[in-house]
Structure 1
Amino acid sequence: MRPAVTVLQLDTQFPRIPGDVACPETYLDKIEIIRIPKASVSHIVTEDPNQIDIQPFITAMQASKGDIITTSCGFLASRQKDLQSVSMRPVLASALVSLPRLAAIKQSISVLTFDHKKLISGQVKLLKNHVKQVIGLHSDTHLRNVIELDSLTLDQHKAGSEIKTIIETELAPTCKCLLMECTNLPPYKSVIREAFKGSISDILTEIEFLRPGTINPTFL
């Protein structure tokens, strides 16, 4: 049986815990993970996504077997059309590509991202007219440091506590929908919900939208 999803994963080693897009336990069905050589966080999380070399992603897509294809970094959002153009299967470059659809049904959307300054600079066309607020992980937060340094050790409790504090102190009170750009954030959805009662969208909800019955309900 072919995999439900192919995940084009950045070339990283940090822990992929349940709820992460590149963790098999996140899914109800078998998935395929293809690591993209030399696609480091520093090369993909950039203010100029047009400079990203997507040929290694395209090469991986051509060898992939999943019903749908997604990536492990939301900063690839602006390359959605480039990636979709080479496949007949659905391609989901980032949860951010859902913004036009969400904006049509949600009154106020905030985005939680890995790096808010780079996201605003690099994805301005996508964010414009759809998003009221963009907030990001602080440079000294544990999860951001684990990802940037590609650390092999992750303190899930510490990461969750810091993310919850960001939501409590920085999220606009008018926010009705929180869209999480970073695919490493969904494991912390339960603690985020302790501080935010609106709807939450992310890479997992978008995969489920494209292929119902794919994601373990625990992480939706």
Structure 2
Amino acid sequence: MIPRVTVLQLDTSFPRIAGDVGSPDSYARPPQIIKIAGASVGQIVTDKPQDIDITPFAEALHHAEGDIIVTSCGFLSYWQVQLAKLCDRPFISSSLVALEQLAPDIAPEALRILTFDAQRLNAAHLGVHSAYAQSILGLPPTHHLRQVISRDLDVLDEDAARAEITDLLVQSQTETHCHILLECTNLPPYRAAITAATGLPVTDILTMIEAACPGAVAPRFS
């Protein structure tokens, strides 16, 4: 039986292209998408994650049917332990929890964490791995993908987003960098282009889903 994924998705309407955590085309089996009413980007993408009301997310877990449960926003990493305790299945709040596996082998200066908003992602989201705050790189406010997400636009130019993202990473890359971690769950569609442009391996929400629940992700994104 092909595993099924349940996605606790923010209350957004922007396009979810293949590779996005909220796109059915990202998975080997149609996912269950539970949209969390009222959970806007503005409310969840905050530098004070402790103030997020996770009650709607906790309630949504009671309706989750998937073999693995994930959220659509990496800024929920602060609540990983609390929400996971409510599940009897694997739960991934954010790709940032991969720091548990990456940190023993990769120093902060060797890791690039690409996020939606570097002004708001901070040590609080990283828990015991707060030293990796220095690894954070954010999408500039003018970037197309950030505009689409923050303004909840209904048109996404995939080519423009890909070009801006790869250019940003290449321009900031140093000889020290050896791995890239994509915080934003809307970035995996560009993973192949990122690897091709930088030559570096990439960890994102989809690679984490596949590692925890083999066969769940569509082969081209696993």
Q: Same fold (TM over 0.5)?
A: yes
**1:5, distance to aligned residue in structure 2 (A):** 0.9
Match of 2:208 among 184, 206, 209: 206
Question: Residue 76 of structure 1 corresponds to which residue in structure 2?
Answer: 76
Contact in 2 for aligned 1:113/1:135 (Cα 8 Å) = yes
Q: After superposition, where does 1:36-115 map in structure 2 within 5 Å?
A: 36-107=36-107, 108-115=110-117
Structure 1 consecutive aligned stretches of length 4 or more whose deviation exceeds 6 Å: none
Task: Report whether the alignment pairs 1:18 with 2:18.
Answer: yes
Match of 1:219 among 203, 218, 221: 221
**1:173, distance to aligned residue in structure 2 (A):** 2.8
User: What is the distance in 1 between the residues matched to 2:80 and 2:174?
Assistant: 28
Number of aligned residues: 220
Q: After superposition, where does 1:61-210 map in structure 2 within 5 Å?
A: 61-107=61-107, 108-120=110-122, 122-130=124-132, 133-210=135-212
Cα 1:143–1:113 change in 2 (3 A) is same
User: What is the distance in 2 between the residues matched to 1:44 and 1:68?
Assistant: 22
Deviates more, 1:75-84 or 1:185-194: 185-194
User: What is the distance in 1 between the residues matched to 2:71 and 2:167?
Assistant: 27
User: What is the distance in 2 between the residues matched to 1:59 and 1:3?
Assistant: 22
Cα 1:147–1:13 change in 2 (3 A) is same
Contact in 1 for aligned 2:77/2:126 (Cα 8 Å) = no
User: What is the distance in 1 between the residues matched to 2:133 and 2:215?
Assistant: 29
Identity of aligned residues (%): 43
Report SS of the residue matched to 2:180: strand
Deviates more, 1:43-52 or 1:128-137: 128-137
**1:87, distance to aligned residue in structure 2 (A):** 1.3
**1:14, distance to aligned residue in structure 2 (A):** 0.1
Report SS of the residue matched to 2:149: helix
Q: Which TM-score applies when normalising by structure 1?
A: 0.94
Deviates more, 1:28-37 or 1:167-176: 167-176
Deviates more, 1:145-154 or 1:192-201: 192-201
Over aligned residue pairs, what C-alpha RMSD do you find?
1.7
Deviates more, 1:209-218 or 1:199-208: 209-218
Deviates more, 1:94-103 or 1:118-127: 118-127
Cα 1:126–1:116 change in 2 (3 A) is farther
Report SS of the residue matched to 2:199: coil
**1:129, distance to aligned residue in structure 2 (A):** 3.5
Contact in 2 for aligned 1:14/1:152 (Cα 8 Å) = yes
**1:130, distance to aligned residue in structure 2 (A):** 4.5
Contact in 1 for aligned 2:2/2:215 (Cα 8 Å) = no
Cα 1:60–1:114 change in 2 (3 A) is same
Q: Which amino acid aligns with 1:64?
A: A
Deviates more, 1:188-197 or 1:38-47: 188-197
Q: Deviations over 1:77-108 (max 9, x none)?
A: 01001111111111100000110211223352
